[in-house]
């Protein structure tokens, strides 16, 4: 899989050759709700609709679980544009999205104080 910077829509000197909103066909809201920490994973189902280059790269990144934020960073796109692309992939069944799991874990005050002390020593 080529790295996103090697794609036809990026130039080393000029940067992105097209505006991000053109990648999402002007859409600014994904049809599927995602959190930046939502985990995206490829299903193995081949999309029956033609995909753009960013869709193909995003699909390749999802062979293992990857967060929306990581995918956006790899694509070098704003998170909202990456969410629109991922929503397209969810709609055609190529990927699944799982909300992040948050656990109600008690905070260990001594651990937090040790981290704070370490940070203060670094400054």
Residue ranges covered by each domain of the chain = 8-119
For residue 118, give every residue at least 6 positions away whose Cβ sits within 8 Å of its Cβ, in sequence order, or none: none
> Sorting pLDDT into bands at 50, 70 and 90, what band is 112?
confident
Cα(78)–Cα(97) distance, rounded to whole angstroms?
A: 18
> Sorting pLDDT into bands at 50, 70 and 90, what band is 2?
very low
Beta strands in the chain (DSSP E): 10-11, 15-16, 39-42, 66-67, 95-98
Model confidence over 3-58: pLDDT tens digits? 444 444 555 554 554 555 556 565 666 668 888 899 999 999 988 888 888 889 99
Residue 66 pairs with which residues in a beta bridge? 40
Q: What is the pTM of this model?
A: 0.64
What pLDDT, on the 0 to 100 scale, is given for residue 44? 92
Residue count (the chain): 123
What pLDDT, on the 0 to 100 scale, is given for residue 3? 44
């Amino acid at each position: 899989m080529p790295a996103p910077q090697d794609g036809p829509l990026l130039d080393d000197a000029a940067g992105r050759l097209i505006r991000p909103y053109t990648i999402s066909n002007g859409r600014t809201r994904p049809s599927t709700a995602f959190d930046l920490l939502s985990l995206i994973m490829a299903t193995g189902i081949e999309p029956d609709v033609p995909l753009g280059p960013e869709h193909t790269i995003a699909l390749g990144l999802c062979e293992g679980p990857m967060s929306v934020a990581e995918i956006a960073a790899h694509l070098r796109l704003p998170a909202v544009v990456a969410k629109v692309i991922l929503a397209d992939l969810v709609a055609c069944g190529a990927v699944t999205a799982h909300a992040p799991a948050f656990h109600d874990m008690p905070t260990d005050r001594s651990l937090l104080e040790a981290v704070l002390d370490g940070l203060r020593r670094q400054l």
